[in-house]
Amino acid sequence: MRALLALEDGLVFEGRSFTGPGETSGEVIFNTGMTGYQEVLTDPSYAGQLVAMTYPLVGNYGVNQEDVESHRVFVEGFIVKECCKTPSNWRATQSLPDYLAEQGVVGIEGVDTRALTRHLRLHGAKRGIISTEESDPMVLVERARNLPTMEGRNLAEVVSPASPYIWNGTRPEPAPMAADGSYAWPGMPNGDRGIRVLVYDFGIKWNILRLLQEQGMDLLVVPASFTASQVRSVRPDAVFLSNGPGDPAALTSTIEELTALTRDYPMAGICLGHQLLGHALGGSTFKLKFGHHGINHPVQDLSDGHIEVSSQNHGFCVDIDTLEDVALTHMNLNDNTLEGFAHNKLPIIAIQYHPEASPGPHDSRNFFRRFRNLAMEAAGLQANAE
């Protein structure tokens, strides 16, 4: 089925839909991973975006229900050079075309993804439309120009859960209520009390919850709308801010609530959480030209010079020059942008990349141990360096 991809600047690609008829729109970006397309598709941080994969053949190992990072596909559309319809992998339960069609997500193949990627690198991320319904490319181009830009979009409130939940080790479950009407902490599987960490879900990837739990943390996961007074009412030991989509500067009310929490609790953030902590500490963010989306991005830990092979997915960046009492801890070696910071006086750490992913495969897992130790020290417990 003939399909068109039209960008706001007039560039048009003709391809074929491998998911049936449909139309979708969003910010067109590219991901450089050779594998991991299922994790990409189900990462809520991609909400509002059409994702082009730079690797030419996608879908050859199919999909399964074990590798998802959330409860559904969040990309607005999927762009590939060639889609494999007959996967070959013992873990596969479904083909990529069937999976996307079942979720109502439009996929287009036959696109020169090398040319598209080069265009986005030279000119930056663009608004775009994929359509099998409109045959006039100039009509699509004009409609793409009228789409909202990513700047100013609060997409975290779109993907954030409606109410608090706990993590049962494999899936979310509704948070139990305490006798006083507040939310109860789940406790550890053996009945012991772990470090109580309140997790803000701005579009969290499930592997973050798995790795926090592995560090001995009781997790109460709350929506983006959770206020500072609500946080204090459940008396956590620490607060964690997740990844998520959209422009961090648009979350003005959330930033106000987080600012009120920065002096009360140890805090850590990943990706959007990193950016929101930057705002909460008085800083600002800016839009990257085409963002960082993919794996094998080199990041240097400035404390010891160690290089981490990282997974990344962000279109905004914290401006370190706008922060006070904050030390730069990690730097992107591709473009020298900020990848991590720590507060000089408060127990607050944050990184821009994704330590829960596995390109290294475990280069960045120490971030979760660092956060655990901050929380334990604040709670008066003996920190463990292992």
Active site residues: 271, 354, 356
The DSSP result for 178-213, as a single string, is PTTSSBPP---TTS---EEEEEE-SS--HHHHHHHH
38 is in an annotated binding site: no
315 is in an annotated binding site: yes
346 is in an annotated binding site: no
CB distance 267 to 376 below 8 Å: no
65 is in an annotated binding site: no
246 is in an annotated binding site: yes
316 is in an annotated binding site: yes
- The region, left, alpha or beta by phi > 0 then psi within -120 to 50, assigned to residue 163 is beta
25 is in an annotated binding site: no
Return d(Cα 272, Cα 294) in angstroms, integer: 16
What is the enclosing helix (H) or strand (E) of 240? strand 238-241
Return d(Cα 77, Cα 116) in angstroms, integer: 15
The DSSP result for 336-362, as a single string, is --EEEEEESSSSEEEESSBTTS-SSSS
- Closest to 97 measured CA to CA, from 29, 157, 22, 45: 22
* Residue set of the binding site: 45, 244, 246, 272, 275, 313, 315-316
Residues making up the annotated binding site for L-glutamine are 45, 244, 246, 272, 275, 313, 315-316
